[in-house]
Every structure is written in C-alpha cells, then in structure tokens.
Copies of this chain bind each other. A is one copy, B any other.
Amino acid sequence: MDAALKALAEPRRRDILRLVWSQELAAGEIAARFDVTRPAISQHLRVLSEADLVTERRDGTRRLYRARPDTVEELQAFLARFWDERLDRLRDVAEAAERDKERP
C-alpha cells in the first residue's frame, strides 16, 4: 500500500497506468507512446508491478501488462480511513472538552 502511494506519486507512472487501464499492452507498445527510452519504461513497469498496480503476463518474447484496479481501490480505502480517523478524534476532543468543563 505504501509502495502503491509512492508509485502513483510519479506523473509518468500514472500515465503508464492509465494506458494499461482498460487494455493489455506490451512493454514496447507502452514505451512507443512516450518520449523516454524503453529501459526507462521498463523500470517504471517494475515499480508498478512491485506495488501490485499492474500484472505481468508473458506471451512469447513479449510481456503484456494490465492495471490492477483493486490496489487503487485499497488506496482509496486508505485515504478514506485517513478521513475517518480525523472524525473520530474530533469526537474524542469534544468529549474531553466536555469532561474538562464538568471538572474544574
């Protein structure tokens, strides 16, 4: 999860992920759409793969990649938890203030 957040912090990796969002693409096909060299894309794909953001499938000499939406969902859940923690603490602070008022 931490790895996924870090991986998505890079704009180019978000672009790559969007490319394989709805279709499986070979590494070379992905690299052809960017102005950086193929190894650079290959390294980004490894980062995305280790963050469980894409799946890798071999087909002959080619490597096909596709996005894994479940990890993005986990990221959304993580941020939602971030939000909820705040609400919980606000409630706790309010309760503590109430206790302080009653006990001078």
Contacts and interface: CB of A to CB of B under 8 A. Distances in A.
How many subunits of this chain does the assembly comprise? Answer: 2
A6 B22 CA distance: 25
Interface string A4-21: 011011010011011101
Interface of A is mostly: helix
Contacts of A5: 5, 8-9
Contacts of A8: 5, 9
B89 A83 contact: no
A93 B9 contact: no
B72 A83 contact: yes
A69 B96 contact: no
Contact of A11 (B2, B18, B35): B2
Contacts of A72: 79, 82-83
A22 B6 CA distance: 25
